[in-house]
Structure 1
């Protein structure tokens, strides 16, 4: 694949289409991130426990279909999976405003939509991660992940900025339509990608259980991949606890309206954009392994500024403290994604992604439930303190692994699933 060295991958037409699809799909996702809980809080008057349950339903798909999704995606071409899941997610989300206008919307409807949307998102994300090495080549993975993280960060700023005023103008249920539209257009853009990956060749007797075990064995036996996965699991559990009560804290304890909530969340997006722009440079200077644990250790403690906030100007100081969390998160994810994709043979990419997602995202539904239960029992402020402490501790697995001193990575292109690549140095 020929690309210009300066503008890099953005001169490649197919990567440009994926880039645009990512922008619109992520914009829809970030609008939904604010709009869905606002539907529960404002339109349905849900309490903290129900809001936590909604957060759990949104991510329960990782537990329900995480491992089978990876084995199944490895058997098929990835692009059709991305297209179909985008379009069906858009259709499912559009039922929320329709049900609201018909007077049929309930918290159970939201639970059902969140669960179906989450299951489809698992298949989309596994296919997306598995498609990228085929589209750009393994030698351009860090550049590709950095550029895609940059556009996701831009939409992390614009998504809440759009969703807040829009929810105030037309209501949270109608705002979900904007999210559905973004995902629908994303699917249509993915349809225009011309590069076709080779059709995967099935084994003589492919069995789902055996393929799942093969993916699990590969990831769990690899010390670097295992450390990334465990650290992510800890981080995601406490992040979701934190985020579940963050909206409640901002809305009910600080008295912010949707526009103010959107402004605070946009500050997080600014940090994510800075992280995407700096990810390649920081990884090259600090080292691919050390940056994974240093990113969390340095930035997560600043999230403790939010529970210190009070109504007035201090909430915006606390919002500035959230920006480093997003900055460090993007730097970490770019390094992790590039490492995972580079160390995994082509035929195991789907299963690697699904296994990592199953373990590292498996605690997210629990985080939503714990966040709701903690908010009910101890209040939103105490839950934010617990989330800040847990996210900081998530740096330990990577620090205690070979990632602590791993500065370079030479990819192993052999197709061995039972042994860890010997290219980490």
Structure 2
């Protein structure tokens, strides 16, 4: 079994002492901050600048995630055929150009919902490739004993950006208008690409398997995930969570601005509450996994935090809006703790040659529900109002832990020993049933 240069170089030190990982982390921070600004600014551009109805705002959210449904599976096979670092840089540059077109069009008075849909689709496609490559690149960059810490650091960075980003986005929208605020996202993607170029470690070009078609490689990734009993239930639970999360995202701007009467600057602070919970979850995830066991952490995190979603629809104008913030903070605390535990497990158990396809298959299964959730959110909000749609979201979060509680995870403290080193040769995964 072979090891990658990145693994041998970083062995014996924490992930933050790895120069290349620090560049990866810096790029992630820049990208996440810009993305969080756009999370506020893009729907506000539709609601405030273009006076879009609730259904069109839901369609915009659906367009942002539709690529996970349509190209999620082949993306994994493509990622496994190329070096991942150059792909990450190119994806950032594509996203920079796409979102940068929004303020340019607004400046000339030609911005339309059609352009916002196209920008969302293009950035979604680039994000699919970026995310699959990013999750597949990390196990090559770090040794296995540092994967949980590395994922925890990335989640901490993401959550910290979620704290600052919405508030910054709300302030920029207030000062400059929604289209101009989106420039921060374009700058974030550019800075991310520059940080990734600072990584000096170069992967070898993957060797193409002779006579193996793209369809056969996609099938191999699907088989790996679907035949593994723990991956199946993780996919089911995460897919349910993402469906109702996307539904919430598609209606929360309309709900908070039109139903609760919040100003854009206050809206940004309200959305930062979920990131405060996520940041706390990222900081606590490693300790919780060690204290109660990684397997228990996966189902406990969702079972304990999920019921707090019922506070979302209880929010009202004025001080009652704080119920929305509290619910978001607790739910996303649990979501980040859950993510650190299950993503680290996935990366450890998978052979290196299958990492792209495994991650893409799971992304297809769990992120492919998001455009559907966003579409349903827009339909429900358009027919019954945003308040009714938020009630549906809250009730849906009660379903998230059910697949986990009905699985072997419920009787386990720790997850089983992982398979071979992710950088090593591909061998049969554990728990494959005939």
Q: TM-score, normalised by structure 1?
A: 0.96
Match in the other structure for 1:86: 92
Give the C-alpha shift of residue 392 in structure 1. 2.1
Please state if 1:252 is matched with 2:258.
Answer: yes
Using the alignment, how far apart are the partners of 1:138 and 1:82 within structure 2?
Answer: 22
Count of paired positions: 422
Alignment of 1:34-183 (within 5 A): 34-183=40-189
Tell whether the 8 Å contact from 2:419 to 2:429 is kept in structure 1 after alignment.
Answer: no
Using the alignment, how far apart are the partners of 1:293 and 1:408 within structure 2?
Answer: 12
Alignment of 1:312-391 (within 5 A): 312-391=318-397
* Secondary structure in 2 matching 1:94: helix
Please state if 1:243 is matched with 2:249.
Answer: yes
Tell whether the 8 Å contact from 1:62 to 1:357 is kept in structure 2 after alignment.
Answer: yes
Give the C-alpha shift of residue 317 in structure 1. 3.6
* Secondary structure in 1 matching 2:398: helix
Using the alignment, how far apart are the partners of 1:422 and 1:379 within structure 2?
Answer: 46
Tell whether the 8 Å contact from 1:221 to 1:420 is kept in structure 2 after alignment.
Answer: no
**Residue segments in structure 1 that go unaligned for 5+ positions in a row:** none
Tell whether the 8 Å contact from 1:74 to 1:351 is kept in structure 2 after alignment.
Answer: yes
- The superposition leaves residues 368-392 of structure 1 with CA deviations (integer Å, 9 ceiling, x where unpaired) of 1100000011111111111111122
**Residue segments in structure 2 that go unaligned for 5+ positions in a row:** 1-7
Instruction: Indicate which of 384, 408, 411 corresponds to 2:418.
Output: 411
Give the C-alpha shift of residue 201 in structure 1. 1.4
* Secondary structure in 1 matching 2:201: coil
Give the C-alpha shift of residue 136 in structure 1. 0.5
Q: TM-score, normalised by structure 2?
A: 0.94
Using the alignment, how far apart are the partners of 1:77 and 1:2 within structure 2?
Answer: 19
Over aligned residue pairs, what C-alpha RMSD do you find? Answer: 1.6
Tell whether the 8 Å contact from 2:10 to 2:142 is kept in structure 1 after alignment.
Answer: no
Tell whether the 8 Å contact from 2:40 to 2:166 is kept in structure 1 after alignment.
Answer: yes
Please state if 1:308 is matched with 2:314.
Answer: yes
Give the C-alpha shift of residue 402 in structure 1. 2.1
Deviates more, 1:288-297 or 1:149-158: 288-297
* Secondary structure in 1 matching 2:368: helix
For the structure 1 residues 338 and 53, does the alpha-carbon distance in structure 2 shift closer, same or farther, using more than 3 Å as the test? Answer: same
* Secondary structure in 1 matching 2:182: helix
Using the alignment, how far apart are the partners of 2:80 and 2:33 within structure 1?
Answer: 27
* Secondary structure in 1 matching 2:98: helix
Match in the other structure for 1:421: 430
Give the C-alpha shift of residue 228 in structure 1. 0.8
Deviates more, 1:264-273 or 1:195-204: 195-204
* Secondary structure in 1 matching 2:232: helix
Instruction: Indicate which of 157, 178, 189 corresponds to 2:195.
Output: 189
Using the alignment, how far apart are the partners of 1:138 and 1:4 within structure 2?
Answer: 9
